Amino acid sequence: MARAKGVASKTTSKKRLPTAAKVDVYALHKSEYVTPKSPVLVDVAPARYVAIEGIGEPGGLAFTTAVGALYNVAFTVKMARKFAGQDYVVAKLEGLWWGSSAKAEFLSEPRDRWHWRLMIRVPDFIAAAETEEAIATLVGRGKPEDVRRVGLYDLAEGRCVQMLHVGSYDEEPRSLEQMRAFAAARGLRFTGKHHEIYLSDPRRVAPDRLRTILRLPVGA
């Protein structure tokens, strides 16, 4: 017992280095990620993402392959930063969607023609060189070549109409109609790409309980 007590005393007497808190981009920009069930106006500051672009039906092979490549890079960049002493929380998956005309309205086109840019927000201090190094590391480990399609992407949306959509993705038009009416009543029009922020994992949450932030940039 005396020996065990002595060991404990020696261990607890050591000075512990302070641990830096993880950077959480959603907490830092809380006002941009509000989840009202009716449309509101929000001002969105420029944001940095790791991102990958493609064309195809959501959930299709091209889409799921891109999601895998994006997460591989996102977590590799995060871990490199963590080992360097500056950790941060990996953010939710987000996506920009548009059709062949590059306008916000795209739902009328066939799903296999939908364009998307899948994104995971990162702190502003993440640099292109870190992303490139992460990709080289993944390729060296034998990961699929699709990781080479991932890169840094800066997005400046400004003023947006935003609301929380609860339900399946196929039911989004009802929420978009509310957003459209809200914008029109204020003399605003949609000026950017349809933006979705996925708060729920569709593999674990029933379709009628999915929570998705819908965001559309607007202007006069």
Q: Which DSSP string corresponds to 99-160?
A: -TT-SS--TTS-GGG-EEEEEEEE-TT--HHHHHHHHHHHHHTT--GGGGG-EEEEE--EEE
Which pair of tokens denotes residue 77?
A: 């960049």
- Give the CA diameter of the chain: 78
**Is 14 domain-assigned?**
no
pLDDT at 82 > cutoff 90: yes
pLDDT at 3 > cutoff 50: no
Number of structural domains, the chain?
A: 1
At 191, the amino acid letter reads T
Average pLDDT over residues 26-43: 96
Share of the chain above pLDDT 90, in %: 85
**Is 155 domain-assigned?**
yes
3-class DSSP assignment, residue 85: coil
* Bridge partners of residue 154, in order along the sequence: 48
Q: What is the pLDDT of residue 11?
A: 41
CB 104 within 8 A of CB 192: yes
Model pTM score:
0.87
**Is 4 domain-assigned?**
no
What is the length of the chain? Answer: 220
**Is 11 domain-assigned?**
no
Residue 43 CB neighbour total at 10 angstroms? 10
**Is 13 domain-assigned?**
no
CA dist., res. 169 & res. 148, Å (int): 29
CA dist., res. 143 & res. 106, Å (int): 33
pLDDT digits (tens, 9 = 90+) for 129-180: 999 999 999 999 999 999 999 999 999 999 999 999 999 999 999 999 999 9
pLDDT at 21 > cutoff 50: yes
**Is 205 domain-assigned?**
yes
CB 42 within 8 A of CB 31: yes
CA dist., res. 29 & res. 35, Å (int): 13
**Is 16 domain-assigned?**
no
**Is 15 domain-assigned?**
no
Which residue reads 């990620």 in tokens? 33
Which residue reads 């995971």 in tokens? 120
> Residue 74 belongs to a domain with what CATH number?
3.20.80.10
Task: Look over the chain and give the mean of its residue pLDDT values, rounded to a whole number.
Answer: 90
Q: What is the pLDDT of residue 20?
A: 65
CA dist., res. 61 & res. 189, Å (int): 34
Q: What is the pLDDT of residue 10?
A: 40
Q: What is the pLDDT of residue 106?
A: 82
Domain of 153, in residue numbers: 22-219
Q: What is the pLDDT of residue 120?
A: 98
